[in-house]
Amino acid sequence: MIVLLLQHHNISGAKKTSPKSVFFKIYKMLFRIDGFAFIRYNSYCMVLILCSAGIIRKGESCQVKFKINIVKDKQFYLKVLAIMLPVAAQQAINMGVNMMDTIMLGQLGEVQLSASSLANSFYNIFQIFCMGTIGGCSVVASHYYGAGENRKVQEVFSLALRIISVLAIVFALVTWFFPAQIMRIYTPDQPVIDAGVGYLRITAFIYLIHGTGFVTAQLMRSINQPRIGLYVSLLSFFVNVGANWIFIFGHLGAPRMEIRGAALGTLIARAAEFIATFALVFGQKKFRF
């Protein structure tokens, strides 16, 4: 797909077309080549993201061909890597956060480890809604950003935040009032349920701050700002590890909270992530809200 885009980008002398027509020409080409709907969708998203990065510009001479060549333009690869590497690093850091929680709670026994894992299974449902919102809104935001319609981009961001805020409040209320019922969906073991209830009570405060911060950082990729997500993920990782060490095991004079300490550490990390995300978003100069 990237080679096809490069072929498209490097050919000159053809008639000029609008960014929208470029999007759909490439999408149709990918549709013919690729027989899997999932890959088609992600290929289309990548086209829009690359357009937002300035690889395909408004009014640029272009022509879509089916000939595939090996591209030697170093600038193109640099632009692609500038988007790809921060995104890949962010995903690796997020996996590291979950891994550290598992390692720390694993020292306390199987009950607390199982309780946190099962409680997070319910939280993962909320994250699925977040990813769906990001997937839909990032395509539209990339299109408007590539067309230079920043006001429309702001409206897309606002819509995404409203959707996530409503979902976060619903999930938070369910988690706060029905933690035991949620745990019973996953296990009949009463000690695991009791441990999970304490974890979920604290998790109820995470939904809103994490949902809005996470969606905002992810959507910033669509307007050529992929590093914001990487920076806040790094901050969240170190804050989470430090807070877990303090509250799970009771260091530095803090009470030994065990599984509830893991939830509190995550809450503190997500709060720091939320503050950092919006500080970076409102502080950057390339795009104003």
What per-residue confidence (pLDDT) applies to 33? 42
Residues ≥6 apart with Cβ < 8 Å to 252: 246
Encoded tokens for 62:
């272009």
pLDDT score for 54? 52
Q: What confidence tens digit (pLDDT) does each residue in 242-277 have? A: 999 999 999 988 899 999 999 999 999 999 999 999
Q: How far is CA 148 from CA 8, 19, 142, in A?
A: 21, 10, 10
**CB–CB of 62/8 below 8 Å?**
yes
Alpha-carbon distance of 1 to 29, in angstroms, equals: 10
Would you state the pLDDT for residue 169? Answer: 96
The confidence score (pLDDT) of residue 289 equals: 56
Output the pLDDT for position 288: 60
* Token couple for 219: 């959507």
| Mean pLDDT score, 77-96 | 77
Q: What is the C-alpha separation between 282 and 228, in angstroms, rounded?
A: 11
Bin 148: left if φ > 0, else alpha if -120 < ψ < 50, else beta: left
26 closest CA partner among 6, 12, 14: 6
Lowest mean pLDDT of 60-64, 66-70, 81-85, 201-205, name the range.
60-64
